[in-house]
């Protein structure tokens, strides 16, 4: 038997099992591959052509698969690079924000990355220049009435008023001993205390309004404005005098004691608490008057006014420390009047809500 005939017989028996299509069991006798191709040499050539085409198709599929994996690898690399880029940009933004914070209030505001959609509004002053302060806004600036009577004094007559008066006088003695004539540091110490009563009183009136479902007559806003104004005094004098470490420690101790004492005092007797603040403001006027005397006598250098003071009190660009002290003293005189007035309201048997508050009394 020739090799051609042997190959034909072998393909005749094995062809249907190897190359035949997958069919149901009902197909009992599939036609041989050589018969489909025409038999003989022509049939063998067709078989080899089919084998070659199958191999080529498999090769193409493998190439496509490898190309796909390569593409996915490239995509993964691109995604990783993008992620790395995003991380890099985020880190750069954080570094930029940190650098902006270090530059202080006088510089541009730091850029905050957030998905909340909150963007700080860009403010300008009356001259169209970009606003540089975040602790207060252009519409919160003002010019105090410096013509106010600085010598006005409430004469203590009843026992409660005398107790308030001598309580304040007893606090002045250790202050004079500790600070002597260092009025810059003395002013900072004074403002850390003076900013407490307005916040405490406003907070307690706020809670009272919530409990009783009633209005406050504008007194919450008035007292909170007083606290904010006193805090701005502190922000100003921080630019003039630098407190020592033990003075900072003293502030912590005094503020902790005074806050709790005033809180309890206001709960027990608001008229006594407001009278104490009125006398404190009288002492503040005296201290700032002495401060001005030392500036005028040349004992304290009349340095240029801090930028924050110029913008807050709408001072001229060439304002000096003397101008700042005059503005602060006028503020203290207004706070004196408001607190003595609030105490008088209570002494007359009324509540503060029954009398309209002197909002923006400057």
pLDDT 10s digits, 26-60 = 444 444 444 444 444 454 444 444 544 444 445 45
What is the model's pLDDT at position 8?
60
**How many C-beta atoms lie closer than 10 Å to residue 241's C-beta?**
15
pLDDT: is 103 or 324 the higher one? 324
How confident is the model over 163-178, as a mean pLDDT?
86
Average pLDDT, the chain: 77
CB 20 within 8 A of CB 33: yes
% of the chain with per-residue pLDDT over 70? 69
What is the model's pLDDT at position 180?
74
The two structure tokens encoding residue 239:
């630019």
Instruction: List, for residues 304-317, the tens digit of each pLDDT value.
Output: 999 999 999 999 99
Q: How confident is the model at residue 241 (pLDDT cuts 50, 70, 90)?
A: confident
Is pLDDT at 318 greater than 70 in this prediction? Answer: yes
Q: How confident is the model at residue 280 (pLDDT cuts 50, 70, 90)?
A: very high
Is pLDDT at 169 greater than 50 in this prediction? Answer: yes
Written in H, E and C, the secondary structure of 334-358 is HHHHHHHHHHHHHHCCCCHHHCCCC
CB 195 within 8 A of CB 230: yes
The two structure tokens encoding residue 28:
């009992």
What is the model's pLDDT at position 20?
53
Instruction: List, for residues 78-104, the tens digit of each pLDDT value.
Output: 444 444 444 444 454 455 545 544 444
CB 279 within 8 A of CB 166: no
% of the chain with per-residue pLDDT over 90? 45
Is pLDDT at 327 greater than 70 in this prediction? Answer: yes
pLDDT: is 276 or 72 the higher one? 276
Task: Give the residues across from 304 on adjacent strands.
Answer: 320
Q: Which residues contact 331 (CB under 8 A, 6 or more apart)?
A: 144, 229, 230, 233, 362
d(CA 52, CA 55): 5
pTM above 0.75, yes or no: no
Instruction: List, for residues 8-22, the tens digit of each pLDDT value.
Output: 655 565 555 555 554
Q: Report the candidate in 28, 5, 4, 26 with the shortest Cα–Cα distance to residue 16.
A: 28
d(CA 295, CA 319): 14
Q: How confident is the model at residue 164 (pLDDT cuts 50, 70, 90)?
A: very high
Domains of the chain as residue ranges with CATH: 181-354 (1.20.1260.140)
d(CA 82, CA 300): 60
Least confident of 138-147, 278-287, 295-304, 335-344: 138-147
């Amino acid at each position: 038997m020739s090799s051609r005939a042997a190959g034909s017989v072998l393909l005749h028996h094995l062809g249907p099992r190897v190359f035949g299509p997958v069919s149901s069991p009902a197909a009992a006798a599939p036609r041989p591959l050589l018969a489909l191709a025409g038999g003989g040499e022509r049939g063998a050539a067709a078989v080899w052509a089919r084998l070659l085409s199958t191999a080529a198709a498999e090769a193409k599929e493998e190439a496509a698969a490898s190309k796909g994996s390569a593409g996915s690898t490239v995509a993964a690399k691109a995604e990783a690079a993008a992620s790395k880029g995003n991380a890099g940009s985020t880190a750069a933004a954080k570094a930029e924000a940190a650098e902006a914070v270090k530059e202080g209030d006088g510089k541009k505001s730091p850029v905050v990355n957030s998905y909340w959609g909150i963007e700080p509004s860009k403010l300008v002053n009356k001259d169209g220049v970009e606003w540089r302060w975040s602790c207060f806004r252009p519409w919160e600036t003002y010019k105090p009435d410096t013509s106010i009577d600085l010598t006005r004094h409430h004469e203590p007559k009843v026992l409660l008023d005398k107790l308030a008066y001598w309580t304040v006088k007893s606090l002045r003695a250790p202050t004079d001993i500790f600070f002597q004539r260092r009025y810059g540091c003395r002013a900072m110490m004074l403002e850390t205390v003076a900013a407490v009563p307005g916040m405490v009183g406003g907070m307690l009136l706020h809670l009272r309004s919530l409990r009783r479902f009633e209005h406050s007559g504008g007194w919450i806003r008035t007292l909170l404005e007083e606290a904010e104004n006193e805090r701005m005094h502190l922000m100003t004098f921080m630019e003039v005098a630098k407190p020592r470490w033990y003075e900072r420690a003293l502030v912590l101790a005094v503020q902790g004691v005074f806050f709790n004492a005033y809180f309890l005092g206001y709960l027990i007797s608001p008229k006594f608490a407001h009278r104490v603040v009125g006398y404190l403001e009288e002492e503040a006027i005296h201290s700032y008057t002495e401060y001005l005397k030392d500036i005028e006598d040349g004992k304290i250098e009349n340095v240029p006014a801090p930028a924050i003071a110029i913008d807050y009190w709408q001072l001229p660009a060439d304002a000096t420390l003397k101008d700042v002290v005059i503005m602060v003293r006028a503020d203290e005189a207004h706070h004196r009047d408001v607190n003595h007035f609030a105490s008088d309201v209570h002494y007359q048997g009324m509540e503060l809500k029954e009398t309209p508050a002197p909002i923006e009394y400057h």
